[in-house]
Amino acid sequence: MKLTTIGKLARKEHRHKPGIAEQTGFPSPATHYLEPTIDLHQELITNADATFFVRMESTEYKHLKIHNDAVLIIDRSTPALKGKLALVVIEGDFSVIRISEGNPTFTLWGVITYIINKAV
Partner 1 sequence: MIALVDCNSFYASCEQVFRPDLWGKPVVVLSNNDGCVIAANREAKALTQIPMFEPIFKIKNLLKANNVTLFSSNYTLYGELSIRVMNTLRDFSPRVEIYSIDESFIDLDGFINTDLKDYGNKIKETIFRNTGIPTGVGIAPTKVLAKLANKIAKKGPEHDHVFVIDTDIKRIDVLKNTEIKSIWGIGRQHAIKLQNVGIYTAYQFTEMPLPWVRKELTVVGERLWRELRGEACLNMIEIPKPKKGIGTAKSFGHKLESLSLIQEACAYYISEVSEVLRAQKTCAMYLHVFLHTNSFSTSDKQYRNKRTVTLAIPTNNTFTLITEANKILREIYKPGYRYKKVGVNLTGIIPEAYVQGNLFESPKTDQYKELMQLVDSLNSKYGKGKVSSGSTGTRMKQWELVKADRSPRFTTQWAELLTVK
Compare residues 23 and 107 and give the one whose CB is closer to partner 1. Answer: 107
Is 112:86 a contact under the CB 8 Å cutoff? yes
Q: Left (φ > 0), alpha (ψ -120 to 50) or beta: where does 91 sit?
A: left
38 binds partner 1 (CB under 8 A): no
Binding mask 42-71 for partner 1 (x = CB under 8 A): -----xxxx-xxxxxxx------------x
Look up residue 61 and give its DSSP letter. T
Give the C-alpha separation, 52 to 37, whole Å.
Answer: 23
Which C-beta is closer to partner 1: that of 11 or that of 32? 11
* Residue (65 or 94) nearer to partner 1, CB: 94
Taking the complex as a whole, how short is the minimal distance between the CB of residue 8 and partner 1, in angstroms? 10
